[in-house]
Each structure stands twice: as C-alpha cells, then as structure tokens.
C-alpha cells in the first residue's frame, strides 16, 4: 500500500468525504487528485472503503481507518517531540540567484543565532518548489511567483523586480526600444527555459509590442545568461537583482512596459521559530536593497499563518 494514499484516506474518513477532506489536508492538493488516489488504494486492496453519497465507511473502510488513525493523529506530537530533542533544521528552496547572491547576505546577519544549527538548500523555480513543499522535502521556498499558490500553501510577498535586458557593456545602444524596429531582432537572444516565469513574462511583453525575437540560447540560470552575454554570445533576459545585472562586462537596459517579477516566500502550515526568524531578516534585507519594490505584506506572528 502507498503510504500517501493511506494518508489521504485518513483525511477522507476523518472528515466525512473527499471535498471536506481537501479543506483540512495541510498541504495543497485538489479534489480530483484525492479522489483518484483513494480509488487507487481501493483498487490495490480490492475492497470498496466507503460509499460516496451519502458518505459512509464500509466494514473494510472502518477497519482500515481504525488501523491508520493512531499513526496519523500522533504524527504532529511525535514530530514536535523529536524537534525539541534534535538540533533545529531548516530546508530552503530557491532560485540559484537567491541562493548564491542574496541568501548568504541574510544568513551572515544570523550567524550567531542558534536557531540555524542545520540548514540545507536546493535550487529550482516555482513549480519545483511547490512540489518539494507538497512532498515535504523542503520547509520554505523563496521563488518568483507566476500563478496563485496552491490551496493551503502560505504566501508572503517580498518584492517586485523589473525585467532587464542584459547587453555587452561596450555596445552602443541606449535603450531596449531601439531594438524593436528590427523584425525580427537581429541579435541572438539568451533566455531561461520557456516554462520559467522570467521567460514567460518577457515573451508576453514582446507579444504586446508585436516584436519577433526567437531564442537562440537557452540557459539554466540567470548567472549563466550574464556570463554568455559578457562573453559576446548575444543579449540576455534577467532581473534587476544585483550582480547578474552588474556583471563587469554587462550592463542592464530597462524593459519599460514589461510586467515585473514578484518574489515570494512559500511554506505549509505554521512557520517554525527558525523560519520566522529567517523571514523577518529576509524582509529587512529586501527593504534595504530594493526599498521601492518591497512588499507591504506583514510577516504573521510566530505560530500563525497568512494566505
């Protein structure tokens, strides 16, 4: 049996139906996903576990619920006890830009804080971070926001950053608008994969301007884009966020009229003390570095949550 299927069945049985269960599951999952995964559990067991309408556990469903209920109802208490006994840990997911350039500046201010005895990091973008949160592989994500976060994922808006066009420093071009007269633009374009928020926002801006500019090079990170631009491989798309836009061989041109990139923090449930401390310092850092773009969102009180 799949333990995740058992967990979903537990919530369905405890709350009296799939739609009610979805409102109480402490991570983002849609009703069709719950329904299909519980059905897989029934197929695996070869038994019907409950009647759908009106909701009623079958004999087999009642037996299974009584078996799994003590385990799932005691998870939080056991986890809390183990956390008290073990050094605190904070697992963070973010883009490579955040992890390499901005997070170290935040952590340097917290170096003496014993709440950060153990930390782990992984890189990725919003979809990957949401999956990692759902699978409980990370505790906190700092990511560009492209769409509304899933239900029950908490969101703290941090800052909005303008898109910029990265060009070789020695090139005689004063503004990005000079390029739009070319159809298509002659210079090679270097972008993140088309599924990433920055690329999508840039593509939407080009569409509004009715500009054709096909991608020549697809890079895996903003740092790599800046490096390729500095080495003369073309023009790149980035955000106004520190060293990437200040590469020694690269300068950034404003992309007027293009939608900005919103950076947020995402997590499940209640923020832990370590998470709360880190987020408070992240907000202070953002206010100092990007005072014009920082969000007015308020970090929830310790132990609370915001949506």
Q: Examine the pLDDT at 34 and tell me if it is beyond 50.
A: yes
CB 189 within 8 A of CB 237: yes
Judge if 208 and 283 occupy the same domain: no
Mean pLDDT confidence for 89-114? 80
Residue 40 lies in a domain: yes
Q: pLDDT band for position 243 (50/70/90)?
A: very low
Residue 116's pLDDT is 58
Per-residue pLDDT tens digits for 64-91 = 999 999 999 998 888 777 766 666 678 9
**Is residue 118 in a domain?**
yes
Q: Do 101 and 33 share a structural domain?
A: no
The pLDDT of 188-195, averaged and rounded, is 90
**Per the domain annotation, does 305 fall within a domain?**
no
Q: Is residue 84 part of a domain?
A: no
End-to-end CA distance of the chain: 33
Q: Write a three-state SS string for the chain.
A: CCHHHHHHHHHHHHHCCHHHHHHHCCCCCCHHHHHHHHHHHHHHHCCCCEECCCCEECHHHHHHHHHHHHHHHCHHHHHHHHHHHCCCEEEEEECHHHHHHHHHHHHHHCCCCHHHCEEEEEECCHHHHHHHHHCCCCCEEEEEECCCCCCCEEEEEEEEECEEEEEECCCCCCCHHHHCCCCCCCCCEEECCCCCHHHHHHHHHHHHHCCCCCEEEECCCHHHHHHHHHCCCCEEEEECCCCCCCCCCEEEEECCCCCCEEEEEEEECCCCHHHHHHHHHHHHHHHHHCCCCECCCCCCCCCCCCC
Q: Of the residues 17, 44, 78, which one is the last residue of a structural domain?
A: 78
Structure confidence by residue, pLDDT tens digits, 132-173: 998 889 999 998 887 888 877 899 999 998 999 999 998 888
Residues 188 and 244 in one domain: yes
Q: What is the CATH number of the domain that holds 73?
A: 1.10.10.10
Evaluate whether residue 302 is within a structural domain: no
User: Tell me, what's the pLDDT at 302?
Assistant: 66
Q: Say which range, 116-125, 248-257, 264-273, has the weakest mean pLDDT.
A: 116-125
> Contact at 8 Å (CB) between 155 and 262?
no
Asked if residue 307 is part of any domain, the answer here is no
CB 229, CB 166: distance < 8 Å: yes
Q: Kindly report which listed range (50-54, 88-92, 264-268) carries the lowest average pLDDT score.
A: 88-92
Whether 176 and 229 map to the same domain: the answer is yes
98 and 122 part of one domain:
yes
Q: Is the pLDDT of residue 11 over 50?
A: yes
Determine the average pLDDT of the residues in 115-121: 74
Asked whether residue 178 falls in the same domain as residue 237, the answer is: yes
Q: Determine the Cα–Cα distance for residues 192 and 207; give it in Å rounded to an integer.
A: 17
Q: Domain check: are 118 and 177 in the same one?
A: no
Q: Give the CATH number for residue 209.
A: 3.40.190.10
> Who wins on pLDDT, 264 or 293?
264
Domains contained in the chain, number: 3
pTM for the model: 0.64
Question: Quick one: 146 and 171 in the same domain?
Answer: no
d(CA 279, CA 193): 29
Give the end of a domain, one of 26, 52, 78. 78
Which residues form the domain of 217?
A: 163-254
Q: According to the model, what pLDDT value does residue 307 have?
A: 40
What is the reported pLDDT for 83? Answer: 65
Measure the CA–CA gap between 260 and 235, rounded to whole angstroms. Answer: 19
305 compared with 76, residue with greater pLDDT: 76
Do 281 and 134 lie in a common domain?
A: yes
Same domain, 112 and 147: yes
State the pairing for strand pair 89-94/261-268: unpaired
Residue 299 placed within a domain: no
Q: Domain for residue 138, yes or no? A: yes
Q: Out of 52, 78, 104, pick the residue that ends a domain.
A: 78
Q: Is the pLDDT of residue 45 over 90?
A: yes
* 34 and 183 part of one domain: no
CA count, 13 A, side-chain hemisphere, 227: 7
250 & 272 share domain: no
């Amino acid at each position: 049996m799949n333990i995740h299927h058992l967990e979903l069945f537990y919530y369905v049985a405890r709350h009296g139906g799939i739609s009610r269960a979805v409102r109480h599951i402490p991570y983002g999952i849609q009703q069709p996903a719950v329904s299909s995964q519980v059905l897989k559990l029934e197929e695996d067991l070869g038994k019907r576990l409950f009647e759908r309408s009106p909701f009623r556990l079958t004999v087999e469903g009642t037996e299974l619920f009584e078996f799994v209920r003590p385990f799932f109802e005691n998870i939080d208490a056991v986890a809390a006890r183990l956390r008290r006994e073990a050094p605190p840990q904070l697992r963070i997911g973010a883009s490579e830009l955040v992890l390499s350039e901005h997070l170290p500046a935040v952590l340097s201010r917290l170096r003496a804080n014993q709440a950060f005895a153990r930390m782990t990091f992984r890189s990725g973008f919003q979809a990957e971070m949401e999956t990692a949160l759902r699978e409980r592989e990370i505790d906190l994500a700092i990511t560009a926001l492209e769409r509304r976060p899933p239900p029950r994922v908490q969101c703290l808006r941090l800052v909005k950053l303008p898109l910029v066009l990265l060009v070789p420093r020695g090139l005689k071009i004063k503004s990005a608008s000079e390029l739009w007269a070319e159809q298509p633009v002659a210079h090679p374009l270097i972008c993140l994969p088309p599924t990433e928020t920055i690329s999508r926002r840039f593509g939407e801006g080009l569409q509004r301007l009715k500009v054709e500019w096909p991608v020549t090079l697809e890079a895996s990170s903003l740092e790599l884009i800046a490096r390729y631009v500095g080495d003369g491989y073309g023009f790149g798309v980035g955000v106004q966020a520190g060293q990437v836009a200040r590469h020694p061989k690269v300068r950034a041109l404003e992309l007027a009229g293009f939608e900005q990139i919103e950076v947020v923090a995402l997590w499940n449930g209640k923020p832990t003390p370590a998470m709360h401390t880190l987020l408070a310092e992240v907000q202070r850092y953002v206010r100092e570095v990007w005072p014009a773009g920082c969000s007015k969102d308020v970090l929830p009180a310790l132990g609370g949550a915001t949506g």
